[in-house]
Amino acid sequence: MIKLEGITKVYKMGENEVRALDGVDLHIKPHEFVSIIGPSGSGKSTLMNMIGCLDVPTSGRYWIEGVEGSKMTDNQLADLRNKKLGFIFQQYNLLPKLSAVENVELPLIYRGIGATKRREMAEAALERVGLKDKMHHKPTELSGGQQQRVSIARALSSRPSLILADEPTGALDSKSGIEIMQMLHGLHKEGNTIVIITHDLGIAKQAERIVSIHDGRITSDIDNRENRASADNVNDGAVKADLDSGIGGEA
């Protein structure tokens, strides 16, 4: 479904070259629930940008559903993001002047879907996250957890191949964080492919598969289906200890 082969990204900072990603190979299969974990500066944001088609690599190749994204133009990448990807950001990134439902409609506008059909799809997505009754509220009238649910609805509305969540619980209190994670688990059960980027081990270990990244390289890639934590016990010390040995004491 998603395949990265020898992805390298080099940033030039004046005279210096920074290798944010250094030959990353990664294969994400359909219906997987993967977490990518790493400390800040590890290159996980750059990796997310690559997977999210927001950036093109310096070298290496990248495929999403058989389409090669590493050589695309800006506009082709935009279309790819629009059709195949749903983003969930730490800061929700809703447009403050638009109502919840208008925010959810936004990706559909860029896809060129007509107003009636668009509203139908947006309402269905909001219903899925349990916010249909608040569809005409502005983001500022909603709590953080509700805003994040709107942003999940926005990611869902375009029925993407992959939901890409960047620290989805980072700005939330623990109760809302658990709610959001439960929702992601629910979406996974419904057959969605989900990738979470986080530095929080408690979040990471809820995934089926944990990929750790350090200094632009993947340092471990473990199958976590056996030890998988549920959203309710994110602070389970025993699991944390298990994982700490597995991924080299990161996070």
Shortest approach of other proteins to residue 225 CB, angstroms? 31
Shortest approach of other proteins to residue 83 CB, angstroms? 7
93 binds other proteins (CB under 8 A): yes
CA 21 to chain centre: 18
User: Can you tell me the distance from the alpha carbon of 120 to that of 3, in angstroms, rounded to the nearest whole number?
Assistant: 33
Site for other proteins in 129-158 (CB under 8 A): 154, 158
User: Which of the ranges 109-117, 201-209, 224-232, 237-245 carries the binding residues for other proteins, by CB under 8 A?
Assistant: 109-117
Nearer to other proteins, 91 or 174 (CB): 91
189 binds other proteins (CB under 8 A): no
238 binds other proteins (CB under 8 A): no
Question: Distances in Å between the alpha carbon of 41 and those of 3, 38, 44, 165, 213?
Answer: 23, 8, 8, 18, 10
Do 46 and 58 contact (CB within 8 A), yes or no?
no
74 binds other proteins (CB under 8 A): yes
99 binds other proteins (CB under 8 A): no
Shortest approach of other proteins to residue 222 CB, angstroms? 29
Beta-strand relationship, 16-28 and 162-166: unpaired
111 binds other proteins (CB under 8 A): yes
Single out the residue of 18, 95, 238, 241 in contact with other proteins (rule: CB under 8 A).
95
Do 185 and 205 contact (CB within 8 A), yes or no?
no
Q: Which x/- pattern, by CB under 8 A, does the window 157-176 give for other proteins?
A: -x------------------
User: Can you tell me the distance from the alpha carbon of 145 to that of 204, in angstroms, rounded to the nearest whole number?
Assistant: 19
106 binds other proteins (CB under 8 A): yes
Do 232 and 178 contact (CB within 8 A), yes or no?
yes
Q: 17 forms bridges with which residues in the sheet? A: 12
Return the residue matching tokens 């668009």. 118
User: Which of the ranges 3-11, 103-111, 176-184, 196-204 carries the binding residues for other proteins, by CB under 8 A?
Assistant: 103-111
Nearer to other proteins, 55 or 242 (CB): 55
Shortest approach of other proteins to residue 200 CB, angstroms? 20
Q: Could you list the residues that contact other proteins (CB under 8 A)?
A: 49, 52, 54-55, 74-75, 78-79, 81-83, 87, 89, 93-95, 97-98, 106-107, 109-112, 114-115, 154, 158
